[in-house]
């Protein structure tokens, strides 16, 4: 579990670094355009790349924390065996979707190895490659959750958690 915490800290650090870079690039580009009627041509494109990478890396963290959208209120009302079956079926479906993401990202990455982005000159494969990393990371999280759901007693109740909205959770 310690290694997973280190991986999560590393992902959060990378995302924070990317967000800081995006903020710096966009700020300086706005200042240059407003005051000097010029700009950094590659800053907008690189910020877009960093944004895509941040979103896909964040999806891994959201999967780990069970924060993706789900319909858990019905599943929580089911008896334990039905709850376990629904959990297993839904995770197998998620794995199938992750395979589609992986396969499509791999194909797009291979197709765009030689295609360069207009402003930065970076291969567009860098943009599509994050789909490979993200799908693989989320696949590992789903595998760990499936293992816990099958072999750890009572883990289904912690894995199938109904997230309350902030409005419902806070009372005046």
pLDDT in tens, 9-31: 999 999 999 999 999 999 999 99
Separation between Cα atoms, residue 47 and residue 56, nearest integer Å = 14
Q: Could you give the CA distance from residue 81 to residue 21 in angstroms, rounded to a whole number?
A: 48
> What percentage of residues in the chain have a pLDDT greater than 70?
91
User: What are 2's two structure tokens?
Assistant: 């310690």
What is the Cα–Cα distance from 28 to 135, expressed in whole angstroms?
A: 33
User: What is the C-alpha to C-alpha distance for residues 126 and 45, in angstroms, rounded to an integer?
Assistant: 12
Mark residue 66 as left, alpha or beta (left: phi above 0; alpha: psi -120 to 50; beta: remaining): left
Coil/strand/helix, residue 123: strand
Helix (H) or strand (E) holding 171: none
Using CA atoms, how far residue 152 sits from 37, 143, 146, 147, 159, in Å, is 62, 13, 10, 8, 11
pLDDT digits (tens, 9 = 90+) for 50-107: 999 999 999 998 898 887 777 677 777 788 888 888 889 989 999 999 999 999 999 9
Burial of 10 (0-12, 13-18, 19+ CB in 10 A): exposed
Q: Distance between CA 2 and CA 166 in Å, rounded?
A: 30
The two three-digit tokens of residue 54, written as one number? 């941040």
Distant-in-sequence, close-in-space partners of 38: CB < 8 Å, separation ≥ 6 = 32
Confidence of residue 171 (pLDDT cuts 50, 70, 90): very low
Tokens coding 6: 């280190």
Please compute the mean of the pLDDT values over residues 27-48 and round it to a whole number.
Answer: 91
């Amino acid at each position: 579990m310690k290694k997973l915490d280190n991986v999560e800290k590393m992902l959060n650090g990378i995302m924070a670094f990317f967000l800081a870079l995006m903020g710096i690039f966009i700020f300086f580009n706005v200042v240059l355009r407003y005051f000097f009627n010029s700009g950094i041509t590659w800053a907008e494109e690189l910020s877009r790349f960093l944004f895509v990478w941040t979103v896909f890396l964040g999806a891994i963290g959201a999967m780990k924390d069970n924060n993706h959208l789900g319909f858990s209120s019905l599943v929580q009302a089911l008896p334990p065996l039905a709850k376990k079956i629904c959990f297993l079926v839904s995770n197998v479906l998620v794995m199938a979707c992750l395979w589609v993401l992986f396969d499509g990202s791999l194909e797009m990455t291979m197709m765009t190895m030689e295609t360069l982005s207009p402003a930065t000159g970076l291969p567009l494969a860098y943009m599509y490659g994050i789909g490979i990393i993200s799908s693989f990371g989320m696949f590992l999280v789903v595998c760990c959750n499936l293992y816990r759901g099958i072999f750890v007693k009572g883990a289904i109740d912690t894995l199938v958690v109904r997230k309350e909205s902030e409005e419902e959770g806070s009372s005046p």
